[in-house]
Every structure is written in structure tokens, then in C-alpha cells.
């Protein structure tokens, strides 16, 4: 088997839970060209190298399902849900807006409403400095790019977060429909 270029760098980046996107051209290029070979290389280690349809790479490990989430995930999740909800409430096309705009930390809606503040406080976020820390965590994971002018933009891997948020929202909507159907069938329960 030919030596796979950058295999150590790719492994080091992905094992930290980060993503490799086209922005990391030196790592992304070889993965794109030889995805199957890299996937076979990592497989004996129990690592599933995934190529997302939106052209980025990450590891899905066999043990990931049973391990607790890293401490940064709850704040990131709440941060993302708030941004998605605020965008939808403004009537903007959520996916297009979130994945094409550049956002300012000071311009975020997160600290504007008491309801949002309560959600954030539950995960240890209570000011702009905390929001900035969350954005920098997303940047380390490869979900966002943080700029020196205190702005950021989401990168392709944010689609995983966005897709999960949509999945949760759809499941909640379906559950609400089922409850309504049950109420219609059993009117005496109302």
C-alpha cells in the first residue's frame, strides 16, 4: 500500500473531534482523492471515517454513542438553537442565512431576550465573553471560523449541527401531532 500523505496530521485533527473541510486544503485534498484508502487505514482502530455529502470529513467512533458529550457541547447546542430560532423568527431562510453570513459577537440575539438568557445561564453562559468562548470552541472543532474583528462565520461542518437541530425539531413536531391525534380519538381525556 502506498504511504498515505498527512495521515498523522489527519488523525490528530479528527481524533480531537474536529472536522476537515476544504479550508484545510492540504488535509482535505488527499482525503478527497483517497477517501476509501484512508477509511480502510483507520477502520482497524475502530474509527469510521465519514465523508459528509457536503464535502467534509470526520470520525464516527464505535464508542462515541456510549460516552458522555464533551463539556463544550451543551453550550454549543443551546447557542445554535437560539441562533436558529432567532433567524426563523425574523423570517429569514434559516439554512441559507446561517451558512452564508458573517456574524458579530456583539450583534447576536442571545442576550436580547430573557428567555434566551435563561437557556444560556443553564449552560454557564451569561455574557459576551462566554458567547465568544463558545464561538472559539466551535472554531476549534471546525464548525466556525473566528476572525480578529470579533466576527465569525459557520463552516460546512455546521450542517451536522443544523441537521441535528432540524431532526429534533421534526421529532418534536411529530410528537405533538401524535398527541393531538390521541386527543381527537379520546375526547373524554380533555
**CATH fold group of domain 7-66:** Arc Repressor Mutant, subunit A (1.10.10)
pLDDT of residue 25: 75
Domain ranges of the chain: 7-66, 73-176
7-66 and 73-176, same CATH topology: yes
Residue bearing cell 480578529: 148
pLDDT digits (tens, 9 = 90+) for 119-175: 999 999 999 999 999 999 999 888 899 999 999 999 988 888 777 777 877 787 788
Q: What CATH number has the domain spanning 73-176?
A: 1.10.10
Interval 91-119 mean pLDDT? 94
CB count, 10 Å around CB of 7?
A: 15
- Kindly report whether the global pTM for this prediction surpasses the value 0.85: no
pLDDT digits (tens, 9 = 90+) for 40-84: 999 999 999 999 998 899 998 655 444 545 667 889 989 998 999
CB count, 10 Å around CB of 120?
A: 21
Amino acid at each position: 500500500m502506498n504511504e498515505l500523505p498527512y495521515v498523522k496530521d489527519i488523525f490528530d485533527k479528527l481524533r480531537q473531534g474536529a472536522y476537515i473541510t476544504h479550508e484545510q486544503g492540504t488535509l482535505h485534498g488527499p482525503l478527497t482523492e483517497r477517501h476509501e484508502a484512508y477509511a480502510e487505514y483507520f477502520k482497524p482502530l475502530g474509527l469510521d471515517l465519514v465523508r459528509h455529502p457536503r464535502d467534509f470529513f470526520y470520525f464516527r467512533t464505535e464508542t462515541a454513542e456510549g460516552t458522555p458529550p464533551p463539556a463544550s457541547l451543551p453550550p454549543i447546542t443551546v447557542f445554535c438553537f437560539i441562533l436558529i430560532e432567532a433567524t426563523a423568527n425574523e423570517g429569514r431562510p434559516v439554512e441559507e442565512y446561517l451558512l452564508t453570513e458573517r456574524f458579530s459577537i456583539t450583534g447576536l440575539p442571545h442576550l436580547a431576550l430573557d428567555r434566551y438568557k435563561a437557556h444560556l445561564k443553564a449552560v454557564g453562559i451569561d455574557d459576551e465573553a462566554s458567547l465568544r468562548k463558545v464561538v472559539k470552541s466551535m472554531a476549534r472543532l471546525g464548525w466556525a471560523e473566528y476572525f480578529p474583528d470579533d466576527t465569525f462565520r459557520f463552516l460546512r461542518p455546521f450542517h451536522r449541527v443544523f441537521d441535528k437541530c432540524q431532526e429534533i425539531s421534526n421529532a418534536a413536531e411529530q410528537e405533538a401531532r401524535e398527541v393531538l391525534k390521541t386527543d381527537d380519538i379520546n375526547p373524554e381525556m380533555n
